[in-house]
Amino acid sequence: MRIRIFDDAARLADAAAQEIEAWIRLSTPDASLGLSGGSTPRATYERLRRARLPWDQVKGWMIDERFVPPDDPDRNSKMVGDALFDHVPADLLTVPWIEDPIAAADEYQRQLATVLPRAAGGLKPGLIVLGVGTDGHTASLFPGTEAVEVTDRDFVAHWVPRLESWRFTATMPLLQRARRTMFLVSGAHKAQIVADVLEGDGDYPATQISQESRDAVWLIDREAAGRLSA
């Protein structure tokens, strides 16, 4: 595991874009990007669209999504499109809009097989971009929800009681098979959970993904790193 700490969120986004750019150059023609929502990823995606890369060989997919129509401003894929994929000749696989969320998740799992290579153990993502919530969730894997325990699927729809809404998410096994896992975290309000995940004994979804990743890198600004011991 690598941990990189930056003075502020802008420098973090610069470095994240550089890391993704370098990874794409090394991975094409089989580069896949698993993408998350959030303000820090958005800043990273906006920087990436200026990079001269073989975008036509890059395949993007959504790690998690909200159960809202495609044009809803809360939809993660709309943000990813606005920030990056509407500006480059790369493909972005989005969760289909079907009024039955279970059916939508089933269809998206089938479609993922057209984007991600299959290896021993199942589909194998390339680089995935994740954040961390103050409760230790990552993607839409919230502590205490049934989705965290799913081991026989790659993508699910599940009801999140505290949000009173449906969420789509890649499952723990799929995320743990990624070739590289990048966590982007900024802000003082994330300092305690960053310390808990990286140095504590808690069994948060973010902890499990980070510890089981074959190649994890944390990009954190100084405010988010404020409670780390080292």
pTM for the predicted model, two decimal places: 0.96
pLDDT tens across 120-160, in order?
889 999 999 999 999 999 999 999 999 999 999 999 999 99
- Domain count for the chain, please give it: 1
152-160: long-range pairs with CB below 8 Å, 24+: 153/109, 154/109, 154/112, 154/122, 154/123, 155/105, 155/108, 155/109, 155/112, 156/105, 157/67, 157/101, 157/102, 157/104, 157/105
Domain containing residue 15:
2-221
Asked, for residue 228, whether it belongs to a domain, the answer is no
Pairwise CA distance, residues 19 & 84, whole Å: 16
Q: Does any domain span residue 164?
A: yes
Give domain status of residue 105, yes or no.
Answer: yes
Q: Is the model's pLDDT at 230 over the cut of 80?
A: no
Q: Please check whether residue 227 lies inside any domain of the structure.
A: no
Model pLDDT for residues 171-210, shown as the tens digit of each residue: 999 999 999 999 999 999 999 999 999 999 889 999 999 9
pLDDT band for position 60 (50/70/90)? very high
Output the domain CATH number for residue 99: 3.40.50.1360
